[in-house]
Amino acid sequence: MENSPAEPVTQTAIFAGGCFWCMEPAFDSIPGVLSVMPGYSGGFLENPSYQQVCEEETGHLEVVEIVFDPTLVSYRELLRVFWRNIDPTTKNRQFCDYGPQYQTAVFYLDEEQRREAEESRDEAQRMNLLGASVVTEIRPASEFYPAEEYHRQYYKKNPYQYQRYHEGCGRNWRLKELWGGKKG
């Protein structure tokens, strides 16, 4: 009898970085990231719709759930990518998107993730990002609900619309202003 190969051990990270359309590409091409799923977390309503979340009826944030192979990419590295793709100094807003669903947060799944998230937040604060305080929350994970199909891989399915949104939102300009040549 042959031994079947062991299933790879995976871990999950959940990050709220504003618009989930813009967070997907930041993680999609990282070796060791197995999947990036946009969705909703942190609220009180089961199975919220995009409309309900946008109308601020559910308490959810837009998030990405990342399944990764920790032998190929560390949680710490994913945190580094997360910070460099958000403005951690604004509350209830990311770039041109306004509302509590766009608050930035790290949802931790265990105490090790909590510790690493808090350490990475403290490192970002020490960088003195334009003299502003880091307001990104570190929260225990709650139920994750996948976003509707049309949101998944939006940047690939609708490249023209995505590019217009991404560029028009001022995201690249603000990220350069905040993070410039600073290393994590």
Reply yes or no on whether 54 is catalytic. Answer: no
Pair of tokens at residue 63: 């998030």
Bridge partners, 67 (sequence order): 12, 35
DSSP, residue by residue, the chain: -PPPPPPPP-EEEEEE-S-HHHHHHHHHTSTTEEEEEEEEES-SSSS--HHHHHTT-S--EEEEEEEE-TTTS-HHHHHHHHHTTS-TT-SSEETTEESGGG--EEEESSHHHHHHHHHHHHHHHHT-GGGPPP--EEEE---EEEPPGGGTTHHHHSHHHHHHHHHHTTHHHHHHHHHTT---
Instruction: Please choose, from the candidates 121, 153, 152, 150, the residue with its C-alpha nearest in 3D space to the C-alpha of residue 137.
Output: 121
Q: Which residues are catalytic?
A: 19
